[in-house]
Structure 1
Amino acid sequence: MVSLRLLLSAVLIGLALAAQPARAAELIMFERAACPWCEAFDREIAPIYPKTASGKLAPLRRVDIYGKLPADLAFVQVERITPVFVLVDQGRELGRIRGYPGEDHFWGLFDAMVERTLGKASDQEKSLRIKG
């Protein structure tokens, strides 16, 4: 009876995990301490980014340019300017934004990059950013 319960529990856990959507895409933010443009991004974009459809599709991951590059990002060319945003999916780079040009320009560049590679941002999502 106990082994049947364990088996049933294992099957249910496996089904629950299989139902979870795979998270493949990420927006990698290469940054460094005391970077004024990184700090501006943190004030203007970082609070709303995870709430957007794009933020759910490609969650933000931060990497210090002076730290050890994570093994799963070995294919990404690290630049010594900050910030640099690199959209990656399944072990390949899809696009990059060098620097932080301010909130309006960032969203324009980001939306163009996402639309070219992952799909179109909705008008509703864009209006949420403005109301943010």
Structure 2
Amino acid sequence: MDRRAALLGLACLVLPAVAAAVPRGLALLLVESPGCPFCAAFRREVLPGYSARAEGRAAPVVPVPLDGPWPDGLALAGAPYATPTFILLRDRVEIGRFQGYESSAWFWRELGALLADAG
């Protein structure tokens, strides 16, 4: 296990919930890092209208810094290592993810596929 994975495990199991709270039901973690141009593009091109779309209402965005702090009680398939990474959760358990940001059309297509798989 690499250092980041070990830290993520500790953050999920030991640290109090010091980052944004993750709601029950569906949620979309936005794992980002300072200076990430793709994260900035996502925030500029998608995030302002995200909650107005059905997908956004179904899975609210919870921003989380790559290096933490992480919300308490998450069960992830593995530690993200690049930004942005989008992790779809159901009741704080990962059910899918995709990485990167190419365009708003690409993002909505990827999120739509995850939501369709989630039912």
TM-score where L is the length of structure 1: 0.68
- The number of equivalent residue pairs is 96
Unaligned runs of 5+ in 1: 1-21, 119-132
Do residues 89 (structure 1) and 118 (structure 2) align?
no
Gaps of 5+ in 2: 1-22
Runs of 4+ with deviation above 4 angstroms: none
Percent identical among aligned pairs is 33
Alpha-carbon contact 1:30-1:64 (below 8 Å) kept: yes
Aligned residue for 2:80, secondary structure, equals coil
Counterpart secondary structure, 2:62? strand
Query: Structure 2 CA distance, aligned partners of 1:23 and 1:72?
Result: 11
Which residue matches 1:61? 62
Question: If you compute each CA radius of gyration, which structure gives the higher value, 1 or 2?
Answer: 1
How far did residue 23 of structure 1 move? 4.4
| 2:42 aligned partner, one-letter code | F
In proportion to residue count, which structure has more helix?
Answer: 1
3-state SS of paired residue (2:48): coil
Deviation, 1:71, is 1.4
SS in 2 for 1:86: strand
Partner of 1:41: 42
1 CA distance for matches of 2:38 and 2:28? 17
Q: TM-score w.r.t. structure 2 length?
A: 0.74
Within a 5 Å distance, the mapping from 1:104-119 to structure 2 comes to 104-118=105-119
SS in 2 for 1:93: strand
Q: Distance in 1 between matches of 2:57 and 2:104?
A: 19
Q: Is the 8 A contact 1:65 1:78 kept in 2?
A: no
Superposition RMSD on alpha carbons, in Å? 1.5
